[in-house]
Amino acid sequence: MSLDIYLEAGEVEFEWFNITHNLATMASKAGLYVAMWTPERLSKDEVRAEDVIDALAEGIARLVKDRVALIQLNPENGWGTYEGLLRVATQYLIACVENPELHVRASR
Residue type for position 77:
N
Domain ranges of the chain: 2-107
Instruction: Give pTM, 2 decimals.
Output: 0.95
What's the confidence (pLDDT) of residue 1? 78
Q: What is the pLDDT along the chain (108 residues), one digit of tens a residue?
A: 799 999 999 889 999 999 999 999 999 999 999 999 999 999 888 999 999 999 999 999 999 999 999 999 999 999 999 999 999 999 999 999 999 999 999 999
What's the confidence (pLDDT) of residue 45? 87
Give how far Cα 47 sits from Cα of 5, 6, 60, 65, 88, Å. 12, 11, 20, 28, 19
Distance CA 65, CA 76 (A): 22
Q: Per residue in 60-87, pLDDT tens?
A: 999 999 999 999 999 999 999 999 999 9
